[in-house]
Structure formats: C-alpha cells, structure tokens
Amino acid sequence: MPKERLSVVVTRRLPDAVETRLSELFDVRLRDDDNPMSREELVEAMKSADVLVPTLTDTIDAPMITQSGGRLKLIANYGAGVDHIDVESARQRGVLVSNTPGVSADDTADMTIAMIVGAIRRVPEGIRLMDQGGWTGWSPNAMLGGRVGGRRLGILGMGRIGQAVARRAKAFGMQIHYHNRRRLHPGIEEELEATYWESLDQMVSRMDVLTVHCPHTPGTFHLMNARRLRLLKNDAYVVNTSRGEVLDENALVRMLKAGDISGAALDVYEHGTEINPDLSALKNVVLLPHMGSATIEGRLEMGEKVIINIKTFDDGHRPPDLVVPAML
C-alpha cells in the first residue's frame, strides 16, 4: 500500500520551480496570492499540516505552537534566520525546526559592498540628481564622495556573511577589523588579514565603516544603542543588512540629522516595513527594501534546502539543517 504523502502548507509564494517540486513530492497547499498569512490562518495551517513552510514574515510564538495540536511535526523555514520562530517551544512540543543556512551569504555580502560603495560615493544622490533633471554638467567639485580603499571596516558578526564581506572588502583595499562572540581560527584571520577586537566599544570608536552581520536575539537587541553609536567618528558610516532590531534606529536618525556621522546604508529596519520618515528625508542615507538575499539563484537554492529537509524528515531521518536552541 502506497505511503500517505506528507501534508505541507506553504505560507508565501515561492519560485515556480520550487512550488512545482514540492507539489510533486508532497500533498502541498500553496498560496494563491503573496500576502502574509494572518495569525489565525497560521494557527489553522499548523493544525492541519504535518509540515509548515514559513518565511521571516511569519511570527510563530509559543501560544501559537501550543494551539497547533498534535499533527505538526516539522517547521521547515524558508530562510536562514529563525528569530521569528520560538524554537524552544517547538522543541518542547516535539516539533522540529529546520532552516536554510549558507545560501544567501554571498548574495548578502555583494549587496553589503554595494551599499558601502553607494554610501561613500553618494550613488543614490547622483541617481536622484539625474532623475530630477538637475545635472548641468561635470565640474571639479561636483558630487564629491570618498575613496573606499584604505578605510577601516569594522564587521560586527563574523559568521558566513561577515567573512564573505571581509573577502570582498579586502579586494577593495579596505582594512578588515571584526568583533565576534568567538575569535576566528588564526588561519582564517590570516587569510582575511582581519584584526580581532575583543571590545566592541573600542572597535566601533576607530572604524571608518561599521557593518552589522549578527542575528536578532535578546542579547543583540539594540546592541548598537545610542551610547555605542556615539562612539563612532564623525566621518564614519553605518551599514546594516542583517536585522533592524540590532540598531537603535531613533538614535541613528538623531546622529545623522546632527551630522555626528557621515551616513548610513540600511536594508533592514527596526520596525519592519514601517520606515522612519526622517530616514527617508535624509540625503546621506541609502535605503533598500530588504534586498540583501534577493537573487533568483539564492531563492531557488533556499527552496532546494527546504525540500531536502522535508524529504529527509519524511524518510525517517534528521533534517540536515535542523535548528536547536543551543545554535541561537
């Protein structure tokens, strides 16, 4: 007798190739539109499925997991970050959680470098000038930015993405510095020509560019708070392509408006899609709509990892990308 297929619910639209393969392998319920599910819809999905495939826009907390009943066995997250899922509560209920690590490191690092260059060389201002028809021709003092090479880059969080940024920044001639929970192996430090700072405060106060690459956890919320932001030099830049909650956004805005730092480049925001209007009004800020990992190749690879995690689980084995609370 054929084995009954796993029931899988996908919370957002995924690339067509990923949805097609999921449909071939499992009894899958896909979305007709790309609007995020409501809290109530998520709870109902968790009650009716063996596997839930959420994304970072789906907050899955302890009360929701408690309401899920006994059918749900795996949350196969489409994405590397799992701060939107209460992994510990899921574990206590016997629900496994998997993710898709490593896929977006190069893509996010590419975007980080683009934002560093864009901020220092005033690329968004140049684009706006052209769009508004305000360019009257070249002159020696027009649209002067800074030189990227030779600047000190401080990397906050030296995981896969931080190291990928370091490799690219080194090619641009930047000096690599980093702060991390654990110091890298000496061989990696030597390869990246990276200087480790045990004190985040001391590193921040000496950098020309600070780029953030750590997850959002209770310990990293406002890690770059008002006090620490004030340690930055007046000519420094702040870049964030990780999680908006790591930066105290209001404090950053105050410093940018006062000219206490030269500029910022943000791809993520403290309050999700609610962008501080003061940020949008500033000329010395690069703002992007969470595009760091947005490549066709990356999204397909993420889907492949989700499928492998579900299929491995369906075959009675531990998903290769299982998340456990100790990893967070």
pLDDT tens-place string over residues 20-45: 999 999 999 999 999 999 999 999 99
CA R_g for the chain: 22
122: left (phi over 0), alpha (psi -120 to 50) or beta: left
Query: pLDDT digit string (tens) for 173-222?
Result: 999 999 999 999 999 999 999 999 999 999 999 999 999 999 888 899 99
Mean pLDDT of 246-251: 97
Q: What is the pLDDT of residue 1?
A: 55
Whole-angstrom distance, CA of residue 154 vs CA of residue 214:
13
Q: Which two tokens stand for residue 142?
A: 């027009």
Q: What pLDDT, on a 0 to 100 scale, did the predictor assign at position 326?
A: 55
Shared domain check, 169 and 111: yes
Q: Reduced to 3 states, what is the DSSP secondary structure of residue 239?
A: strand
- pLDDT by residue (tens digit) across 223-243? 999 999 999 999 999 999 999
Q: Residues 252-267: what's their mean pLDDT?
A: 97
Residues 185, 111, single domain; the answer is yes
Q: What is the CATH number of the domain that holds 54?
A: 3.40.50.720
pLDDT band at 328 (very low <50, low <70, confident <90, very high): very low
- Place 133 in a pLDDT band, splitting at 50, 70 and 90: very high
What is the number of domains present in the chain?
A: 2
Q: Compute how many other C-beta atoms are within 10 angstroms of the C-beta atom of residue 229.
A: 22
Q: Which domain holds residue 275?
A: 105-287
- Are residue 25 and residue 119 in the same domain, yes or no? no
**What are the tens digits of pLDDT across the range 69-125?**
889 999 999 999 898 999 999 999 999 999 999 999 999 999 999 999 999 999 999
Enter the pTM of the model.
0.91
Amino acid at 166: A
Average pLDDT, the chain: 95
Identify whether residues 21 and 58 lie together within a single domain: yes
* Cβ burial, residue 310 (10 Å; 0-12/13-18/19+): buried
Q: Is the domain of 196 the same as that of 91?
A: no
Average pLDDT over every residue of 244-268:
97
Which among 47, 43, 90, 42 is positioned nearest to 69, based on CA atoms?
Answer: 47
